[in-house]
Amino acid sequence: MSMQSSTNFVVETALLGQGLVSVSSKQIKELWPDDALVTWLQKGRIILGSIEDFLGYKDQTKFWRRIDGLNLYEGIKEGVNGFLTASAAITVARDVECPIVVSAGIGGIGDIIEERLCYDLPALAKTEITLVATSPKDMLDIPGTIGWLHNNRVKTFGVGTKFCDGYVFVRHETQLKQALSNEELGSIVRGHNLILNPIPHEKRLQESDYLGEAIKAGKLAEQNGRHYHPAANRRLDDLSQGRSSIIQLNSLIANIAVARNIKVLQR
């Protein structure tokens, strides 16, 4: 494993690598916070490094796999290049004793071949980690996802709210265990924690019919043996003329700001 320096949090790379269809590497670098390290698989080696190193390698290498916590060690053995999902980043963070992982839209329970139960959920349930995210993705069963986490002793928090009401779209409200103020972020008890930092409603996509189109594109990709979420993201990006990609990038960066303010206390 290659690690640039010790860090209190690490950022997954599946969104950065496959989800931001119309956002250039230059745009990402301009917006990215200097101290935020990302994790990826480079020729089978787990890397914790800068956004510049990640984007430079990504831009010169054609084929990357989407790696989750279930196939991370297989990817290492096979020497592949891979973008790491939240569950893979959780595995990496556990191995290097990093207490916080940052994501944006996470997996969950839904009518998706890869996500009858996305491994993001079991990974969080079995690993003492704090995951900062925005929401489960909009095409998932968000109440079912939050319910599964509660039934498996994961504590759920909302930054400034006690509800999760969608990711890039406004959905129905699902109650979380606790609302958190900025001051309370400074005293999170170590455990199985999911902290959701929602996108303000006015910054989300207002065209609810786009979601149905994105779901169709994801389903078509599945039928052709490809991954659902990159295809759904590509369709959303196209329909929204790039707005969905910028919204997600800004949300990931906002979640980094939350992670920076967290102090994880030992129990």
pTM of the model: 0.94
Q: Check residue 35 and give its pLDDT.
A: 87
Q: How far apart are CA 178 and CA 44, in angstroms?
A: 39
pLDDT band at residue 196 using 50, 70 and 90 as cut-offs: very high
Question: Can you tell me whether residue 115 is helix, strand or coil?
Answer: helix
What mean pLDDT is predicted for residues 88-98?
96
Q: Contact, 69 vs 123, CB < 8 A? A: yes
pLDDT score recorded for residue 262: 94
> Residue 172: its pLDDT value, please?
95
- Per-residue pLDDT at 5: 45
Query: What pLDDT, on a 0 to 100 scale, did the predictor assign at position 114?
Result: 63
Residue 229: DSSP 8-state: H
Single-letter amino acid, residue 238: D
44 Rama class: left (phi>0) / alpha (psi -120 to 50) / beta: left
What pLDDT digit, counting tens, does each position of 118-163 carry? 999 999 999 999 999 999 999 999 999 999 999 999 999 999 999 9
- pLDDT value for 226: 87
Q: What is the pLDDT of residue 115?
A: 62
Q: Which residues contact 22 (CB under 8 A, 6 or more apart)?
A: 237, 242, 245
Confidence of residue 217 (pLDDT cuts 50, 70, 90): very high
Whether pLDDT at 6 is above 60: no
The pLDDT value given to residue 93: 97
Cβ atoms of residues 110 and 267 within 8 Å: no
Cα–Cα distance measured from residue 105 to residue 116, given in angstroms and rounded to the nearest whole number? 16
Measured at the alpha carbon of residue 209, what is the angle toward residues 198 and 22, in degrees to the nearest 5?
A: 65
Class of the CATH domain delimited by 2-265: alpha beta
Q: CA 126 to CA 113: how far, in whole Å?
A: 22
Q: Which of 59-68, 106-115, 177-186, 228-237 has the lowest mean pLDDT?
A: 106-115
Average pLDDT, rounded, for the chain = 93
Residue 1, pLDDT score:
60
Contact 238, 207 (CB under 8 A): no
Between 79 and 227, the more confident residue is 79
Q: What is the DSSP letter of 19?
A: I
Domains of the chain: which residue ranges? 2-265
